[in-house]
Amino acid sequence: MNYFEETHIRNNNLPVEWQSQSALDEFAQFLQVNWEQRSVFYDDNTVRSRQQFISFTGQRGIRTGHYIGTVVFKGQQLNIFPKMFRTEKEDHDTQDLELSHMMKNLVKWIEYCTRFEYPYINIKSDLDESNDLRELFVSLYVRYLQAATDYGLFYQYEDKTEDSPVVKGKIDVKDYLINKIASGNSNKFLCTYSSFELNNKLNRIIKYTCKLLMNEVRGANQRILRKILIKLNEVSDEKCTPYDCDTVKLSRMHSEYRMILSMSKMFLLNQTSTYELNTNESFCFLFPTDYLFEGFIGGFMQSMLQGKAKVRLQASEISLVDRIIIEGQSYGRAFTMRHDILIEHREKGLFILDTKYKSISRIKGNPDARHNVYQEAHQPDLYQMFSYAIKRDVKDIYLLYPMFRFEDEEDTIPQLEISHPVNDVTHTITVHVVRLPFIFEDDTDLTASRLKSVINSIFA
């Protein structure tokens, strides 16, 4: 099934395996478990404990949210595509959508993102074998693990308790007096001590995860996994669960293994037969599109303007309220202001840009352009940008929106002027509504060139 984000899917259009209320309840629980582990891939600063991937409307069906990617449940696959893959706002045709195209864009966007944990930019050339999102993440896991084990295998002190002819660590005095002396084994001591072990909990989790993945990978991934398993030959085989990962404690010296541990837990979660499913029947890889858009545009600008401007993402050194005063006592600042993109250009000065992953209709040549801008430029966004301009003392601020697929860039940029009097003098703040190319087609260099052209027009 291929659908766009923010789409209602009626119950009778869902796979038969999903249509009953009990199946939908299981599906919701499955998504909840994956929601709680999403920090493996990204930090969305969302404090909500209830999953936001998909909303459930009872027997009426489900509604996709602001997350794109793939969900497989009970052997049935749902691919959720970005709404900007449409050719226009009212385009709902999903027949020509290809998962490989979304994967290509996903990797390209995350290449520039800083909020995502995967090291795409280092290994994206090795992902040619990946045909779906699960294969892509298996490839990333395998190569990340390969880099860590090539650098050095993971050793950790583990407590051992065993009988020993010499005292090691802490002796169990009660056992010695009651059991050993009574049985004539006064030369044996039950000791608990720490040993620097390769056969530790983390390596047992890694080995078990690798063996699970060996059944579903091929080519280069299979060869890499085989080499890793040879290195872990001395590690004992032990069936592991996702919750075993929570018992592993890592020091700062082993920060690279934090990612491996989190990813192992994610694979174990998606392999476990929690809902009496067969292996590989369920997995979930969904990503927030608003963060992808913000992270991609911000990262792209950092790369493009290197040496020309200082580009800061999520700049937060100023607050909306400078001080709170209660009964004459000042309690300091409140309501931190976070700018998506703050640019200090060497020649052009200060620029405040805010990304909005929302659909804005084409402006140029559109007879309804005025009405569309009035309807689609949301009032809360304008309030937000006005407060940014006042606090930063700038006259021009920019709202950045994504363009639909196959659109040509526009040389028409609507300007929303906001006048405000200060000491009988009228000042004007101008909000520029800028639409940016966001979808990469076969010629990625062409899309990058078009994006650079629009960004340069901002500074011109």
Q: What is the pLDDT of residues 391-403, one digit of tens each?
A: 888 899 999 999 9
Residue type present at position 58: G
Q: Identify the pLDDT of residue 10.
A: 92
- Residue at which a domain ends, from 176, 197, 218: 197
Q: Identify the pLDDT of residue 118.
A: 52
User: 442, 440, 437: which is closest to 106 by C-alpha?
Assistant: 440
Q: What b/e readout covers 334-354, taking b as 16+ CB neighbours within 10 angstroms? A: eeebebbbbbeeeeeeebbbb
What strand order describes the sheet that includes 189-197?
156-164, 189-197, 170-171
Residue 316 lies in a domain: yes
Residue type present at position 359: S
Residue 108 lies in a domain: no
In angstroms, how far is the first alpha carbon of the chain from the final one? Answer: 44
Residue 58 lies in a domain: no
Looking at the chain, how many residues does it have? 460
Q: Are residues 191 and 312 in the same domain?
A: no
Residue 439 lies in a domain: yes
Q: Are residues 186 and 309 in the same domain?
A: no
Q: How many domains does the chain have?
A: 2
Cβ neighbors of 35 (< 8 A, separation 6 or more) are 50, 51, 52, 53
Residue 191 lies in a domain: yes
Q: Identify the pLDDT of residue 296.
A: 93
- Residue at which a domain ends, from 197, 214, 247: 197
Q: Identify the pLDDT of residue 274.
A: 37
Cα 260 to chain centroid, rounded: 16
Percentages (nearest 5) of helix, strand, coil residues in the chain: 40, 25, 35
Pull the structure tokens for residue 421. Answer: 């009097």
> In 3-state terms, what secondary structure has residue 68?
strand
- Residue at which a domain ends, from 146, 177, 197: 197
Q: Which residue range is the domain that position 172 belongs to?
A: 159-197
Q: Are residues 313 and 450 in the same domain?
A: yes
Cβ neighbors of 184 (< 8 A, separation 6 or more) are none
Q: Identify the pLDDT of residue 441.
A: 92
Residue 292 lies in a domain: no
Q: Are residues 317 and 175 in the same domain?
A: no
Residue 282 lies in a domain: no
Distance CA 130, CA 139 (A): 7
Residue 3 lies in a domain: no
Q: What are phi and psi of 377, to 5 degrees?
A: -80, 100
Q: Identify the pLDDT of residue 280.
A: 44
Distance CA 355, CA 160 (A): 54
Q: Identify the pLDDT of residue 41.
A: 67
Q: Are residues 454 and 311 in the same domain?
A: yes
Residues of the chain under the 70 pLDDT cut: 39-41, 43-48, 114-132, 270-281
